[in-house]
Chain A
Amino acid sequence: MTEITQILRRIEGGDSAASSELLPLVYDELRKLAAARMQRETPGQTLQATALVHEAYVRLTDTDQAQTWNSRGHFFAAAAEAMRRILVERARQKASVKGGGYQKRVPLVDFEQANVTPAIDLIALDDALQKLSQHDQRKAELVKLRFFAGLTNHDAAKVLGISASTADNDWAYAKCWLRVEMTSD
């Protein structure tokens, strides 16, 4: 049994301290994966968070053992958090070191992919997300799961243990709230 599966078991068994062990493992794996994948990917292709997280899941868990939803839920929650940290921490670090802040960047040289969503200011998003979590932890988790871990509404609802329609309502409100929050300064 892999280390991560053991941790997932312990969390299920009520060992709350185990959660804190999960994050660094997932975090490291995602970093490694992202780096490796980027070298392998064809230039011009983008890497979906979904792909990374799912790959990390397969690599880190003894999938036979960790198929139950509870384990997966914990894992994805950890992965979403790890992904958020990786991305946001780096963004912050760069912004602080260079002073000029994170410039609006042209997302891709391939203008053909016109449907690519414009790059999002990750730092502003994270600040807003922090505020949201103070009001409503569940909605903040939902945003992390969907945006940073790339889960569908359906899967994210399962992870959070809520119905799909609740998740849908939460999502609509949360993203509008965040958007307003991000532009209110």
Chain B
Amino acid sequence: MDSKFVLEESIFTNARRIADSDAREHYIRDACGADTELQVRIRLLLRVLVEENSFLESPVETTAAIDLLYGEAEEVGSSIGPYELVEQIGSGGMGLVFLARQNSPVRRMVALKIIRPGMDSRELVRQFESERQTLAQLNHPGITRLLDAGTTDSGRPWFVMELAPGLPITDFCKQRAAAIPERLRLFEAVCSALHHAHQNGVIHRDIKPANVVVTEVDGQPVPKVIDFGIASVRGHSTDEKSTETTPQIRSRPKSIMGTPAYMSPEQTTLPDHDVDERCDVYSLGMLLYQLLTDSRPFPEISWQEIGFTETRRIIQIVSPWVPSERVLDRVKSGLEASADPAGDRPTTTAARSRTESQRLSSQLQGDLDWITMKAIEKDRSQRYQSVADLAADIRRYLHHEPVQAGPPLGVYRLKKLWRRKKSRVLVMTLTTFVLILAGVSVLTARMSLSQRKAVVEHTAQLDILRAQRQRQSSIAALHAGFEEYFRGRVDIAREKLQLLESSTGETLERGFAGRYLEQLCRTPQRVLKGTGGRVFNVPFSPDSRMLVTCSGDTRCALDIWDVANGQVVRSISGFDDDVNSAIFSHDGSKLITAEEARMIRVWDVLSGTELSRLEGFEQPVVAMYLAKDQRTVVISEVEWKSKLAVTWVCDLQDPTHRIQIPGQFPLGFDEERGIFAVVSDAGEVSVRNYPRFSAEGSLLGLQPRTVCGSLSHDGQLLATGSMDGNTHIRRLSDSTSEKLPRNAPVPPHIRSLAFSIDDKFLIEVTSTGFVHIWETSTRTLQKVFLAGIGETWSCAVSPDGRWLAVGCSDGITEIYAWSAITGVRRSVLQFEQTISDAAVDVRTRDFAVLDATGHVRIYSSDDDQLLQSILVPADVAFRNLTFSHDGEYLWMTDESGNVKKVRRVTSEIVQSFPTYGVRIMAPVVSPDGRFLGVSTFNADSNAGSVCSGVWDTKTGKEVFRLPDKLTPSVLMPHRVNEFLNTSIAVTTQQNIVSRWNPATGAEILPRLEDPKGWIFHTSAAPDGKSLLLGLRDATVVLWDPDTNEFTYELRGLRSTLNATEYSRNGTTLVTATQAGEVRLWDLPTGHLICELPGAAGPISDIWFSKDERRLLALVNKPGGGSEVYVWDAGESE
């Protein structure tokens, strides 16, 4: 080590520790003395330290090194075919891209892509070739053209593309500081190129800024889509199940192929052939996002570090901030940089960028936010369904036409105003806090006051946004949980729940929706672990106390279980082959088995001994019914391969007496009604008469490969399931049938069907382990769960209706409490007479129903128990019912405009006064009970309503009457009147909302006129200030009269809003509609949480029980009569 070196190092080391530049310079001059050369070197070294601080800091990355390790790479200067490689211009994981010169037949520069040395495995070569083929199909100015292709001597494929020199589109726009419309026009051109690709059946699958470059042609920027490296060609195969025949180019399994920030959620979950052009819509949306905001969609995420699982999770559930929020976020970074004491950047730059960002933010708010967020919806069915649709909306925006996209995901518009108000409060407290800290914090002290304020303000704003985002992703996860659940992916739904638990740590926050999903995902009550293989049949004993499992494969046996404790009571083993089915004698003392070994046997249950047998069948014996005489059995023998069946009616006591019904397989048997349902080998489903077995022309339909069936207990319906994975519900009376609709892929086979004891539900067991519970009347899927760990084979409902047993593989049988399955949504009260109105006591959550005769019944919302019954003498029919706010009185109004006030405890009428002499509609009572607002309906009048007014409840006198222009024309029982609070009454006339002082009759301005359509529903929000309005086009808006602005807009309802309910903490809104749909919304974010299985008719009222574990609704049945439904989240665990 020479001394000069040592001196240089020590001066350098000392100097770099001196922060003050003057002092540092002074030290250098001092230390170096006359050696000016050394001075220069020290300064040079120090400059390197500051300016090139990152030099060598990251360990060498070996991507570049790998090419070196392999050698043999095509080199600049060498030639491939007629192309001379000029410069390497890119290298991806799979290929290298060179700038190449073509000399003949034309002289031009081209891009040559060749597979990377060492990457030429068969699979990658196939992928590489697929890109080549893909490009060959396309001819569009926005897509680089394929010019030539070939293979090197060493067998590595290459191809030549038109050269697309230029910058990635995002860099291009940034560099030119292009205005938003210019960016959008470029983006539209990209859409057009992708549209061309899609029309040719090519999906790009890796759209990102680097793959969209802008070149200038005659001074005009032209974007070009490059790198169809992982594109796939969509098959034109019609058979979805056949994967062999589709011309799919498959990529490697289980690795994330695209670039995470731009990759659609379905690309991380679905097999390639299920990914369609909508994945490009998503990626384009992310590109648009970046074009609008100049920042990547998830700048805070370091994709390289988080690993595969986390990457997938983020892609699936986390949405980026809406663009207008994102650009505000940028300001913060700028401010922090300027507030850094070491930085010398003037704050004016930051201030300017802040105003610019705010201007940009307001430009993006609304249409552009919506378009972007619609394109990047996680659920592809919610996205633009094609690139053309996306492009059309961009064009609409550019032409100042209304865009198709609405607020994101059935969502809201969180108005700036609301946000500003909230953040100002927070800013003030935080500013105070920081000022206190300022005394001790050097950093803060060195900032100017305005800098400090600005930082605080934006930090606070961001904290709010961040909390909002956190909530958004929680709600999105919950929403996804429901979606997955109703697609039958219970395990994923359960995962989402667990994820929520770990992220929020509290179940309260999830509210009713979270608990409901939890209830849906519950596990079985009891798991019986038999020792055999497949469980083919699971009959209950007549007293429902025993369950028999018929198993085969490894251990062909019959096990009898005690349902109460899940223990084996008795086993009958030693069967030569599978036990296909079994049936109890009606007294439960005997068991009859149908066996693969071509016989049926009778067993004594107590002793387990064989009593008798019937032999002589040619094929394995299956399905079986026992007639009341305890000796006639209906069985079928089936030749498994051909599925040809012969049904026999046998006499257990007389082996010689057998009736043969050839070519038919039994599906259902009802001895009392004389119904015997069968399916023929050709698939004709029909009903035969019992005991004559004559076919009486009752063909119910044709369903080939039908293998199982179930007859409803009332003898009305026959459910039939086939090997094709479809189930039909057929009505015997008129031979109509309906195929159960499938959201999820059609299951391979239906294995077993059973109606619940009340026939309200159909249990469907599929071969893949899924059990579906369908509501019979609506044909809607109520519940899905996964039974066992593999296949499922059989199911049965116990005769007492308490249990559902599902037979699985590996000897496993699961028993579920039926209440846990249907408890989730059921009709708890039925009224033959249509209920005119229901009312809820806001304190106890007791609810009252009123029928036209004046009969009021009050029930508990906790357990549907009748608490009180009041009969109010009616001269004419009663129409409406309302609880007073303290719950002590009931207000009732009738057809003739009479008002009655009934004291609940004594059932006595304490007040009664007439109003306008015609039918009262939409009555409302003010919170303090002083005023009553009514509208009237006169069937004789064309206008519908005659008049509306406010009445003093004490005196029974009219306070004032609304002017004609503002009188609601109530033709349907819509909710048009409301009290925001005691001093503000609200009425709605078609498309005008007006507010009044009920005591004086003075109107409170402003009026809301034409809020985008006629108003069908008006209700006060929990804050007592804003109004929730249900519009005719089924959108729902929240109107803040103080600012005359809409703070929310909820979209996606299929019919008009009839009723609403809020959770106690005000964060969940429940909407119920004329079509019976029920949706839960998260108000802070405006996101849809879930759609619950709905009702079969219009819902006129909906409310939570006091503990918010139950949601109840009054439903009017289409054919008359009413029901109360309950969605039950069950007891807490």
Is B one of A's binding partners? yes
A residues whose Cβ falls under 8 Å from a Cβ of B: 31, 34-35, 38-39, 41-50, 52, 83, 86-87, 90-91, 93-94, 98-100, 103, 105-113, 116-117, 119-120, 122, 135-136, 143, 146-150, 169, 172-173, 175-180
B661 CB to nearest A CB, Å: 62
B69 CB to nearest A CB, Å: 6
A106 touches B90 (CB 8 A): yes
B173 CB to nearest A CB, Å: 14
Give the residue of A98, A106, A112, A147 whose beta carbon is less than 8 angstroms from that of B88. A106
B320 at the interface (CB under 8 A from A): no
A2 to B1032, CA, bound (A): 79
A143 to B63, CA, bound (A): 20
Q: Give the interface residue-count category, chain B.
A: 35 or more
Give the residue of B9, B45, B59, B68 whose beta carbon is less than 8 angstroms from that of A148. B59
CB-CB < 8 A to B45: which residues of A? 173, 176-177, 180
What residue in chain B is nearest A43 (Cβ atoms)? B93
What residue in chain B is nearest A38 (Cβ atoms)? B66
A41 to B68, CA, bound (A): 17
Give the residue of B59, B87, B94 whose beta carbon is less than 8 angstroms from that of A103. B87
A108 to B88, CA, bound (A): 11
B64 touches A119 (CB 8 A): yes
What residue in chain B is nearest A169 (Cβ atoms)? B13
B165 CB to nearest A CB, Å: 13
Give the residue of A98, A120, A173 whose beta carbon is less than 8 angstroms from that of B12. A173
Q: A42-B255, A173-B9 are in contact. Are A108 and B59 (CB under 8 A)?
A: no
Q: Which of B50-58, B274-282, B724-732, B932-940 contacts A (4 or more CB under 8 A)?
A: B50-58
B91 touches A34 (CB 8 A): no
A141 CB to nearest B CB, Å: 14
A106 touches B91 (CB 8 A): yes
CB-CB < 8 A to B49: which residues of A? 172, 176
CB-CB < 8 A to B304: which residues of A? 45-46, 113
Give the residue of B16, B61, B118 whose beta carbon is less than 8 angstroms from that of A39. B118
Q: Which of B70-78, B882-890, B919-927, B1000-1008 contacts A (4 or more CB under 8 A)?
A: B70-78
- Taking A117-B61, A172-B13 as known contacts, 6 extra A-B pairs with beta carbons closer than 8 A to each other, sorted by chain A number, are A38-B69, A44-B259, A90-B68, A100-B75, A109-B227, A116-B61
A103 touches B88 (CB 8 A): yes
B296 at the interface (CB under 8 A from A): yes
B171 at the interface (CB under 8 A from A): yes
B261 at the interface (CB under 8 A from A): yes
Which of A38, A47, A87, A90 has its CB near the most chain B CB atoms (within 10 A)?
Answer: A38
The 7 closest A-B pairs by CB, nearest first: A43-B93, A90-B68, A150-B59, A47-B62, A176-B45, A109-B90, A49-B59
What residue in chain B is nearest A89 (Cβ atoms)? B68
B88 touches A111 (CB 8 A): no
A44 to B260, CA, bound (A): 11
B773 at the interface (CB under 8 A from A): no
A94 CB to nearest B CB, Å: 7
B88 touches A49 (CB 8 A): no
Q: A173-B13, A179-B55 are in contact. Are A47 and B48 (CB under 8 A)?
A: no
A87 to B65, CA, bound (A): 6
B93 touches A49 (CB 8 A): no
A128 to B90, CA, bound (A): 28
What residue in chain A is nearest B4 (Cβ atoms)? A135
A178 touches B56 (CB 8 A): yes
B1 at the interface (CB under 8 A from A): yes
Give the residue of A109, A148, A169 whose beta carbon is less than 8 angstroms from that of B60. A148
A172 to B304, CA, bound (A): 28
B75 touches A98 (CB 8 A): yes
Q: Can you list 7 residue pairs at the A/B interface with Cβ under 8 Å?
A: A34-B66, A38-B62, A38-B63, A44-B259, A93-B71, A98-B75, A147-B56
A149 to B255, CA, bound (A): 27
CB-CB < 8 A to B88: which residues of A? 103, 105-106
B61 touches A46 (CB 8 A): yes
B210 at the interface (CB under 8 A from A): yes
A33 CB to nearest B CB, Å: 10
A37 CB to nearest B CB, Å: 8
A26 CB to nearest B CB, Å: 15
B552 at the interface (CB under 8 A from A): no
Give per-residue flags for B234-270: 1 if the beta carbon is below 8 A from chain A beta carbons, else 0. Answer: 0000000000000000000001110101000000000
A105 touches B64 (CB 8 A): yes
What residue in chain B is nearest A42 (Cβ atoms)? B255
CB-CB < 8 A to B61: which residues of A? 46-49, 107, 116-117
A98 to B67, CA, bound (A): 15
A45 to B258, CA, bound (A): 11
CB-CB < 8 A to A50: which residues of B? 59
A35 touches B118 (CB 8 A): yes
Question: Which B residues between 68 and 120 are near A, CB-CB below 8 angstroms?
Answer: 68-71, 75-77, 87-94, 97, 118-119
A41 touches B93 (CB 8 A): yes
Give the residue of B52, B64, B70, B94 whose beta carbon is less than 8 angstroms from that of A179. B52
A43 touches B92 (CB 8 A): yes
A100 touches B76 (CB 8 A): yes
Which of B45, B60, B89, B227 has its CB near the most chain A CB atoms (within 10 A)?
Answer: B60
Give per-residue flags for B31-54: 1 if the beta carbon is below 8 A from chain A beta carbons, else 0. Answer: 000000000010011101100101
Give the residue of B66, B70, B91 whose beta carbon is less than 8 angstroms from that of A109. B91
CB-CB < 8 A to B64: which residues of A? 105, 107, 119
A117 touches B209 (CB 8 A): no
B121 at the interface (CB under 8 A from A): yes
B209 touches A112 (CB 8 A): yes
What residue in chain A is nearest B92 (Cβ atoms)? A109
B296 touches A112 (CB 8 A): yes
CB-CB < 8 A to A117: which residues of B? 54, 57-58, 61
CB-CB < 8 A to B63: which residues of A? 38, 46-47, 107-108
B11 CB to nearest A CB, Å: 10
A182 to B250, CA, bound (A): 47
Give per-residue flags for B1-23: 1 if the beta carbon is below 8 A from chain A beta carbons, else 0. Answer: 11001000100110010000000
CB-CB < 8 A to B5: which residues of A? 135-136
B88 CB to nearest A CB, Å: 6
A34 touches B59 (CB 8 A): no
CB-CB < 8 A to A107: which residues of B? 61, 63-64
Q: A49-B59, A106-B91, A111-B168 are in contact. Are A176 and B12 (CB under 8 A)?
A: yes
CB-CB < 8 A to A44: which residues of B? 92-93, 259
Q: A47-B62, A50-B59, A148-B59 are in contact. Are A42 and B92 (CB under 8 A)?
A: no
B378 at the interface (CB under 8 A from A): no
B590 at the interface (CB under 8 A from A): no
CB-CB < 8 A to B93: which residues of A? 41-45
B208 at the interface (CB under 8 A from A): yes
CB-CB < 8 A to B210: which residues of A? 109-112
A116 to B302, CA, bound (A): 12
A41 to B304, CA, bound (A): 12
B68 touches A87 (CB 8 A): yes
B91 touches A108 (CB 8 A): yes
Give the residue of B46, B118, B119, B171 whose beta carbon is less than 8 angstroms from that of A111. B171
What residue in chain A is nearest B170 (Cβ atoms)? A111
What residue in chain A is nearest B227 (Cβ atoms)? A109
Which of B65, B70, B87 has its CB near the most chain A CB atoms (within 10 A)?
Answer: B65
Q: A47-B66, A146-B56 are in contact. Are A112 and B208 (CB under 8 A)?
A: yes
A176 touches B91 (CB 8 A): no
B66 touches A35 (CB 8 A): yes
A156 CB to nearest B CB, Å: 11
A147 to B65, CA, bound (A): 13
B527 CB to nearest A CB, Å: 40
A175 to B12, CA, bound (A): 12
CB-CB < 8 A to B44: which residues of A? 180
B59 touches A48 (CB 8 A): yes
What residue in chain A is nearest B73 (Cβ atoms)? A94
A111 to B88, CA, bound (A): 15
CB-CB < 8 A to B94: which residues of A? 43
Give the residue of B13, B65, B91 whose beta carbon is less than 8 angstroms from that of A90. B65
Q: A98-B76, A109-B91 are in contact. Are A175 and B66 (CB under 8 A)?
A: no
CB-CB < 8 A to A120: which residues of B? 55-56, 60
